[in-house]
């Protein structure tokens, strides 16, 4: 019988995360304090974030960062995640390509987000923090943080974009089952929220309003830190556990990827899978291609400009050197909420600038078409975000069919879509716009 899934024994789980910044010839340019235009310091960052992740954020020299034992122990609750040979998909496409995917959807909260949530919650706990806060849109990150906070005995307060709070009740319920306090944003619980509601009592909320409220809560609450689920370099660092596992698992399968593909929102699931393989391009002369699959309606890597920009709509964050559509850009209302972000993380932006990776744009209908094909062939209903990676993989597999090349493709199944079935409903009913 052909092997379908590869797991690592627990003792072979990675001990360290991989910091690609140490191996980059051109390091990312520094984040700037918008007031002083000077590089942001660990001291400045750690007002908001735990000290340890603030250090990680600015660490451009240490290649390996130890994974604390306490985090590794929690990783064993769901890691290693399986590396899966997609025989079903290969057959459906009739392609000579060998398609593999890393299945991050098996995490308790259904996505890769937990890999960083556990680390961030742990560092907070270790530093004596008692409360953590964050914003969430559809709720993937909020659910991950709520669970991680519960495991480490922290109180979690999540500001969820109001329209998602009302329209996506399942992820809100998940957060509540894990014991988190979930507030629809804008709310009357913060100065920022009150100001917004005063002007517009019917404001439906946005990641911008939710970030403002979470940041304010962290600033005004003793022993409370803010956490973020993507974009920043320390988040991607934690996600490299995905690629480091995949590297060993591909070795078990006796193959090495010619192409590595992931969907692209802020960059954490992409970097998490890609960077450990990219290091062999940087250091060992490998020629693997790396493809970020972004929504055509939010094409920062293919159509954005590389420049200093704010990470949030309101301009509260440091200035980040990145590919951006402008921090005032409002993405179309696609169902892949996790990809609706105007900018790309600073590491990916630098790699893109240096032609060390590629990006493709995927239309919404193509993403769901790919997702349904995958569901029928492999049985897993993918998150709308992950559908973008699948669509890009299918495109590569069909090129292999045309050329007869037996390439090895590896993509990241960042999450499942079981809590996003209403989006599939609308797709099957023909009600989705093809942004």
Distance between CA atoms of 10 and 78, rounded to whole angstroms?
10
User: Does residue 378 interact with a copy of itself by CB under 8 A?
Assistant: yes
User: Does residue 174 interact with a copy of itself by CB under 8 A?
Assistant: yes
Q: CB 348 → a copy of itself: shortest distance, Å?
A: 29
Dihedral (C-alpha) 220, 224, 230, 231: value to the nearest 10 degrees?
Answer: 50
Span near a copy of itself by CB under 8 A; candidates 122-130, 166-174, 256-264, 386-394:
166-174
Q: CB 56 → a copy of itself: shortest distance, Å?
A: 23
Whether 335 contacts 383, CB under 8 Å: no
Nearer to a copy of itself, 174 or 215 (CB): 174
Nearer to a copy of itself, 387 or 389 (CB): 387
Structure tokens at 414: 């960042």
| 302-335 CB burial, b ≥16 within 10 A, e <16 | eebebeebbbbbbebbbbbbbbbbebebebeebb
Question: Using CB under 8 A, which of 380, 410, 413, 432 touches a copy of itself?
Answer: 380
Q: CB 102 → a copy of itself: shortest distance, Å?
A: 15
Dihedral (C-alpha) 145, 344, 292, 265: value to the nearest 10 degrees?
Answer: 40
Whether 273 contacts 243, CB under 8 Å: yes
User: Does residue 376 interact with a copy of itself by CB under 8 A?
Assistant: yes
Q: Give the length of the chain.
A: 435
Span near a copy of itself by CB under 8 A; candidates 126-134, 226-234, 305-313, 421-429:
421-429
Binding mask 23-62 for a copy of itself (x = CB under 8 A): ----------------------------------------
Q: CB 364 → a copy of itself: shortest distance, Å?
A: 16
Question: Using CB under 8 A, which of 132, 291, 359, 381 touches a copy of itself?
Answer: 381
Structure tokens at 311: 């990470």
| 59-76 CB burial, b ≥16 within 10 A, e <16 | beeeeebebeebbbebbe
Nearest to 327 by CA among 206, 237, 217: 206
User: Does residue 254 interact with a copy of itself by CB under 8 A?
Assistant: no
The secondary structure of 165-234 as a DSSP string is HHH-HHHHHHHHHTT-EEEEES-TTSHHHHHHHHH-TT----HHHHHHHHHHHHHHSTTEEE--SSSSHH
Q: CB 429 → a copy of itself: shortest distance, Å?
A: 9
Binding mask 320-359 for a copy of itself (x = CB under 8 A): ----------------------------------------
Q: CB 267 → a copy of itself: shortest distance, Å?
A: 25
Q: CB 149 → a copy of itself: shortest distance, Å?
A: 10
Q: CB 158 → a copy of itself: shortest distance, Å?
A: 15
The footprint of a copy of itself on this chain (CB under 8 A) covers a number of residues equal to 45
Q: CB 417 → a copy of itself: shortest distance, Å?
A: 8
Question: Using CB under 8 A, which of 47, 220, 332, 421 touches a copy of itself?
Answer: 421
Binding mask 69-98 for a copy of itself (x = CB under 8 A): x--xx--xxx---------x----------
- List Cβ<8 Å contacts ≥24 apart for 151-154: 151/74, 151/118, 151/121, 152/70, 152/118, 152/121, 152/122, 152/124, 152/125, 153/125, 154/121, 154/124, 154/125, 154/129, 154/130
Residue the block writes with tokens 């995640």: 81
Distance between CA atoms of 242 and 66, rounded to whole angstroms?
15
Distances (CA, A) of 219 to 5, 67, 202, 225, 238: 45, 28, 26, 8, 24
Span near a copy of itself by CB under 8 A; candidates 35-43, 54-62, 263-271, 416-424:
416-424
Question: Using CB under 8 A, which of 64, 170, 306, 316 touches a copy of itself?
Answer: 170
- In the complex, the residues that contact a copy of itself under the rule CB under 8 A are 1-5, 7, 10-11, 69, 72-73, 76-78, 88, 106, 108-110, 147, 150-151, 169-171, 173-174, 176-179, 372, 375-376, 378-381, 418-419, 421-422, 424-425, 428
């Amino acid at each position: 019988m052909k092997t379908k899934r590869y797991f690592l024994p627990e003792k072979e789980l990675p001990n360290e995360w991989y910091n690609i910044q140490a191996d980059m010839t051109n390091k990312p340019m520094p984040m700037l304090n918008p007031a002083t235009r000077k590089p942001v310091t660990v001291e400045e960052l750690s007002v908001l974030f735990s000290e340890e992740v603030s250090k990680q954020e600015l660490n451009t020299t240490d290649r390996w960062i130890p994974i604390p034992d306490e985090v590794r122990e929690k990783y064993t609750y769901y890691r290693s995640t399986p590396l899966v040979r997609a025989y079903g998909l290969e057959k459906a496409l009739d392609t000579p390509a060998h398609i593999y995917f890393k299945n991050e959807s098996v995490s308790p909260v259904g996505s890769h987000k937990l890999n960083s949530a556990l680390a961030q919650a742990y560092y907070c706990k270790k530093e004596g923090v008692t409360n953590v806060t964050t914003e969430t849109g559809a709720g993937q990150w909020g659910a991950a943080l709520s669970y991680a906070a519960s495991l480490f005995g922290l109180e979690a307060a999540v500001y969820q974009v109001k329209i998602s709070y009302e329209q996506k009740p399942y992820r809100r319920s998940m957060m509540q089952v894990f014991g988190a306090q979930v507030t629809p944003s804008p709310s009357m619980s913060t100065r920022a929220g009150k100001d917004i509601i005063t002007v517009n009592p019917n404001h439906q909320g946005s990641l911008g309003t939710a970030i403002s409220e979470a940041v304010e809560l962290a600033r005004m609450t003793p022993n409370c830190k803010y956490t973020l689920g993507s974009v920043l370099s320390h988040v991607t660092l934690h996600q490299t556990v995905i690629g480091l596992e995949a590297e060993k698992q591909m070795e078990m399968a006796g193959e090495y990827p010619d192409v590595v593909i992931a969907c692209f929102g802020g960059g954490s699931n992409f970097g998490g899978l890609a960077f450990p393989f990219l290091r062999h391009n940087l250091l060992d002369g490998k020629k693997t291609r790396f493809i970020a699959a972004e929504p055509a309606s939010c094409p920062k890597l293919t159509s954005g400009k590389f420049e200093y920009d704010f990470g949030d709509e309101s301009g509260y964050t440091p200035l980040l050197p990145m590919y951006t559509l402008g921090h005032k850009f409002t993405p179309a209302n696609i169902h892949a909420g996790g990809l609706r972000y105007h900018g790309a993380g600073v590491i990916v932006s630098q790699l893109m600038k240096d032609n060390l990776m590629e990006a493709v744009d995927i239309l919404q209908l193509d993403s769901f078409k790919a997702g349904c094909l995958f569901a029928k062939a492999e049985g897993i209903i993918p998150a709308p975000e992950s559908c973008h990676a699948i669509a890009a993989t299918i495109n590569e597999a069909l090129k292999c069919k045309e050329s007869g090349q037996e390439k090895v493709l590896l993509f990241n199944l960042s999450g499942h879509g079981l809590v996003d079935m209403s989006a599939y409903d609308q797709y099957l009913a023909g009600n989705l716009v093809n942004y």
